């Protein structure tokens, strides 16, 4: 079994030696003296859990900055959808690799994705060593043959590594009708998979749902039996007190995407209401065409600030926000990681404490939430493997060149 020994690293303010054996943290002690396969000098660095991104459309990195600052309708119909119609499977692979590169460099080791040609994103995640829950997208506008293939794909046995899982991804209540939603619910239950979906993102979604179904989106999904601890809902901006109670009672997971909600003028998530009711909240970036990066450090800062703008400065503390981005995110996706503890899966970041944004270091978590950028991340470890060291990812130049080439081709055609 491969071993990594990290010497003299700061863990919660004290110097520790940490032994990783295989894909787990085997021992954490004041001093460990063994000959490991790899030894890392951790002096001047701190070890923290990495980030778990609850909602992303990874291949949309190819659309970063392609169309901004316009109303949703025009944005989708005139820019996003025509561009996406030209994307091939190879383009999606290149876009996914660019996204994963960006995520690793900003300390993320897991993402929940929703796109199509999902096998390309799975291939990229497998090769680059990260964890992913890859959504198989469902929408009424997909033809019968594609939907049939999607459900079969979800039911099949796959030889993926333990880092990869699939999820059932009905896009939203306004693109997926009752019948298909129920089929998605059944497929998730039958195959023991997570269900992921956009929910209560805009006021229009609420108004349309009230007009069509005479109830609000959360209550509508409750009636259809789609809520539960394996259901992950992105955005969840527009909910009333009763809906927050329903989400808490059913243990449904809410993914807060503050950058996207602000950029698309979707509204402000009611953090204090959700916290008061005991809802399970994690963070996500959404895709790069509505963000426009995949940096969870940015997302933590925005989540903390946004909660304070609409409420009180003592709400959504740095510790709470950091936990949403790390331990809670891992737990909600049933990944036994997100904490630097013996027995946990070995996912970790080594942070350079001499980085100018982390000095002085009165409170590391506060510095990470409010001050850090990704240049402070030296090393990324996922499942006991080093996937970035000295802030360099293997093959990053080639991944970037390929993405540039693909985008040139797509905009010329």
Which residue number is nearest to Zn ion in terms of Cβ?
286
Between CA 187 and CA 198 the distance in angstroms is: 18
Q: Report which DSSP code applies to 313.
A: T
Between CA 10 and CA 360 the distance in angstroms is: 15
Q: What is the total count of residues that contact Zn ion (CB under 5 A)?
A: 1
Hey, CA dihedral for 349, 293, 197, 369, is it positive or negative? positive
Shorter beta-carbon distance to Zn ion: residue 48 or 99: 99
Q: Report which DSSP code applies to 176.
A: S
The interface region with Zn ion, picked from 40-48, 91-99, 222-230, 286-294 by CB under 5 A, is 286-294
Least separation in angstroms between residue 235's CB and Zn ion is: 7
Query: Which of positions 115-134 make contact with Zn ion (CB under 5 A)?
Result: none
Distance of CA 145 to the CA centre of its chain: 30
Between CA 122 and CA 132 the distance in angstroms is: 8
H or E element in which residue 62 lies:
none
Between CA 220 and CA 213 the distance in angstroms is: 7
Least separation in angstroms between residue 56's CB and Zn ion is: 8
Query: Which of positions 207-236 make contact with Zn ion (CB under 5 A)?
Result: none
The interface region with Zn ion, picked from 86-94, 171-179, 283-291, 342-350 by CB under 5 A, is 283-291
Least separation in angstroms between residue 207's CB and Zn ion is: 20
Between CA 357 and CA 268 the distance in angstroms is: 28
Shorter beta-carbon distance to Zn ion: residue 203 or 363: 203
Between CA 31 and CA 173 the distance in angstroms is: 54
Least separation in angstroms between residue 403's CB and Zn ion is: 20
Shorter beta-carbon distance to Zn ion: residue 243 or 286: 286
Binding residue for Zn ion, selected from 113, 222, 286, 323, defined by CB under 5 A: 286
The interface region with Zn ion, picked from 100-108, 248-256, 285-293, 392-400 by CB under 5 A, is 285-293
Least separation in angstroms between residue 63's CB and Zn ion is: 13
CA distances from 263 to 61, 70, 116, 369, 373 (A): 16, 10, 24, 20, 20
The interface region with Zn ion, picked from 22-30, 133-141, 278-286, 396-404 by CB under 5 A, is 278-286
Least separation in angstroms between residue 316's CB and Zn ion is: 22
Strand segments, DSSP code E, in 78-228 are 108-115, 131-138, 164-170, 194-199
Q: Are 247 and 273 in contact (CB under 8 A)?
A: no
Least separation in angstroms between residue 60's CB and Zn ion is: 9
Shorter beta-carbon distance to Zn ion: residue 70 or 404: 70
Shorter beta-carbon distance to Zn ion: residue 286 or 323: 286
Q: Are 19 and 5 in contact (CB under 8 A)?
A: yes
Shorter beta-carbon distance to Zn ion: residue 286 or 320: 286
Shorter beta-carbon distance to Zn ion: residue 286 or 402: 286
Least separation in angstroms between residue 117's CB and Zn ion is: 17
Q: What residues are paired with 166 via a beta bridge?
A: 134
Q: For the chain, how many residues are written?
A: 413
Shorter beta-carbon distance to Zn ion: residue 257 or 367: 257
The interface region with Zn ion, picked from 96-104, 129-137, 282-290, 393-401 by CB under 5 A, is 282-290
Binding site residues, Zn ion, CB under 5 A: 286
């Amino acid at each position: 079994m491969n071993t990594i020994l990290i010497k003299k690293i700061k863990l919660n303010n004290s110097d520790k030696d940490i032994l990783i054996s295989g894909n787990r943290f085997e021992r954490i002690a004041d001093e460990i003296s063994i000959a490991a396969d790899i030894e890392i000098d951790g002096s001047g660095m701190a070890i923290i859990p990495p980030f778990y991104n609850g909602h992303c459309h990874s291949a949309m990195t190819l659309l970063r900055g392609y169309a901004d600052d316009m109303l949703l309708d025009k944005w989708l119909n005139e820019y996003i959808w025509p561009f996406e119609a030209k994307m091939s499977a190879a383009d999606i692979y290149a876009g996914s690799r660019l996204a994963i590169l960006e995520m690793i460099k900003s300390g993320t080791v897991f993402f929940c994705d929703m796109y199509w040609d999902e096998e390309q994103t799975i291939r990229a995640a497998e090769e680059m060593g990260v964890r992913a829950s890859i959504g198989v997208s469902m929408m009424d506008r997909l033809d019968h043959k594609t939907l049939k293939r999607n459900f079969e794909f979800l039911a099949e046995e796959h030889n993926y590594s333990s880092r990869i899982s699939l999820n059932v991804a009905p896009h939203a209540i306004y693109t997926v009708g009752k019948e298909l939603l129920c089929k998605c619910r059944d497929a998730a239950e039958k195959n023991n998979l997570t269900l992921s979906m956009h929910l209560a993102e805009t006021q229009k979604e609420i108004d349309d749902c009230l007009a069509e179904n005479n109830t609000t989106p959360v209550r509508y999904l409750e009636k259809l039996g789609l809520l539960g601890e394996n259901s992950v809902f992105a955005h969840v901006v527009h909910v009333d007190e009763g809906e927050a109670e329903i989400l808490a009672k059913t243990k449904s997971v809410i993914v807060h995407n503050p950058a996207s909600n602000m950029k698309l003028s979707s509204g402000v998530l009611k953090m204090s209401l959700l916290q008061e009711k005991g809802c399970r909240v994690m963070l996500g970036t959404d895709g790069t065409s509505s963000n426009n990066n995949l940096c969870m450090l940015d997302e933590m800062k925005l989540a903390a600030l946004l909660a304070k703008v609409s409420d009180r400065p003592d709400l959504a503390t740095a510790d709470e926000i950091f936990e949403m981005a790390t331990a809670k995110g891992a737990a909600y996706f049933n990944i036994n990681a997100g904490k630097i503890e013996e027995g946990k899966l070995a996912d970790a970041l080594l942070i350079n404490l001499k980085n100018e944004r982390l000095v002085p270091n009165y409170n590391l978590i506060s510095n990470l939430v409010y001050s850090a950028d990704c240049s402070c991340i030296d090393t990324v470890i996922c499942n006991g493997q080093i996937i970035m060291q000295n802030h360099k990812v293997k093959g990053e130049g080639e991944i970037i060149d390929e993405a540039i080439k693909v985008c040139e081709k797509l905009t010329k055609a």
